[in-house]
């Protein structure tokens, strides 16, 4: 079954529920930027996200320098944001709550 891209209304509702995330790539992705105490803490966070991503078979695009991690979520098969991205963002948020 194909994964559907969120409608504009669904995207808006999802962003309301994800206050730490912002829309990017002309509405086709969401991103979050995080800062940690040091590299080990940032890398540990990325490891926890990687485990979640593997289980969900939905992998983030990310960038790391020392204590900073930038994450972008999009569903390439859907051509933009999907419910998979919203679920992954919520799982990531739960790690840093």
**pLDDT tens digits, 21-70:** 999 998 899 999 999 999 999 999 999 999 999 999 999 999 999 999 99
Domains located in the chain, CATH noted? 8-94 (3.30.1360.20)
Q: Whole-model pTM?
A: 0.93
Measured CA to CA, the distance from residue 70 to residue 62 in angstroms comes to 5
d(CA 18, CA 37): 23
What's the pLDDT at 97? Answer: 77
């Amino acid at each position: 079954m194909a994964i559907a891209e969120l409608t504009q209304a669904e995207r808006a509702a999802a962003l309301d529920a994800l206050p730490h995330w912002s829309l990017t790539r002309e509405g086709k992705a969401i991103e979050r930027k995080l800062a940690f105490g040091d590299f080990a803490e940032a890398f540990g966070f990325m490891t926890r996200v990687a485990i979640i991503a593997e289980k969900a078979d939905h992998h983030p695009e990310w960038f790391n320098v020392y204590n900073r991690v930038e994450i972008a979520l999009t569903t390439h098969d859907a051509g933009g944001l999907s419910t998979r991205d919203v679920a992954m963002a919520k799982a990531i948020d739960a790690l840093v709550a």
